[in-house]
Structure 1
Amino acid sequence: MFKEEYSNIVMDHFMCPRNMGLISNLNGEGTNGDPKCGDYLNIYIRVENNLIEDISFLVYGCPASIATSSMTTELAKGKTLEEALKITEDDIIDALGGLPENKKHCSNLGVMALKNAIQDYYKRKI
């Protein structure tokens, strides 16, 4: 049976995810799902003065999906919208100390859901 090797950082974010749940006064919401593995992510943001003041998530998925979602919120919190839009899959993987090759696609969940949340924020402002 295949056993996945996760870094201590991945295991920490899986066992104790940061920013999980809903936030109050959100003004942006983004979703993303990966049909290959069935994972699905919602990211919620509260933006004030072009900064992501608060961010949270709800995810359905494997340990890597939970860890990458948690790390995405950690990387985006406190950043300007422009800075947050520059977060890449590699940034998330690097911050987690790596992922097994067959789980690297999970980092796409966070990147795309974050971008979708920021787009939703801009749409709500109109």
Structure 2
Amino acid sequence: MVIDHYENPRNVGSLNKSDENVGTGLVGAPACGDVMKLQIKVDDNGKIVDARFKTFGCGSAIASSSLATEWIKGKSIDDAKKIRNSDIAKELSLPPVKLHCSMLAEDAIRAAIKDYKVKKESKSSEAVAAN
């Protein structure tokens, strides 16, 4: 599974980060130098309708990103937040030395959700202030 997601990664690319419905999470692992950018696009009902990633790192980091984007598409924000690095590591059969890669994916999901929520809150504040 790791090799498949590494050789044929799903959802590689970027979404327009200025879109108010797009949340961007950028995380890194200083120990190994891996950097992961994961983006989500959320519809008006709070459902993740698209996800993209760009990862600079080892095959396990790329595979973790690819799998994470596959898993969060179609989920609500609350369900996406329930995805744990241990689930990703188990699905990909990551060895203990590569568990930080799955942790990066979990952190990137959370960071993207947080960014989306901050954007939505600031948009709501602007709308209230305009009235």
* Higher radius of gyration, 1 or 2: 2
Q: Secondary structure at the match of 2:78?
A: helix
RMSD: 1.1
Structure 2: where are the runs of 5+ without partners?
Answer: 122-131
Q: Secondary structure at the match of 2:61?
A: helix
Query: Given residue 37 of structure 1, which amino acid in structure 2 is its aligned partner?
Result: C
Structure 1: where are the runs of 5+ without partners?
Answer: 1-8
Greater share of helix residues, 1 or 2? 2
1:17 equivalent to 2:9? Answer yes
* From 85, 89, 92, the counterpart of 2:88: 92
Q: Secondary structure at the match of 1:17?
A: coil
Structure 1 residue 18: deviation in Å?
Answer: 0.5
Moved over 4 A (4+): none
Structure 1 residue 101: deviation in Å?
Answer: 1.5
TM-score by length of 2: 0.86
Number of equivalenced pairs: 117
TM-score by length of 1: 0.89
Indicate the residue corresponding to 1:5 in structure 2. Answer: none
Structure 1 residue 100: deviation in Å?
Answer: 1.5
Percent of aligned pairs sharing the same letter: 43
Matches within 5 A, 1:1-126: 9-24=1-16, 25=19, 27-48=22-43, 49-96=45-92, 98-126=93-121
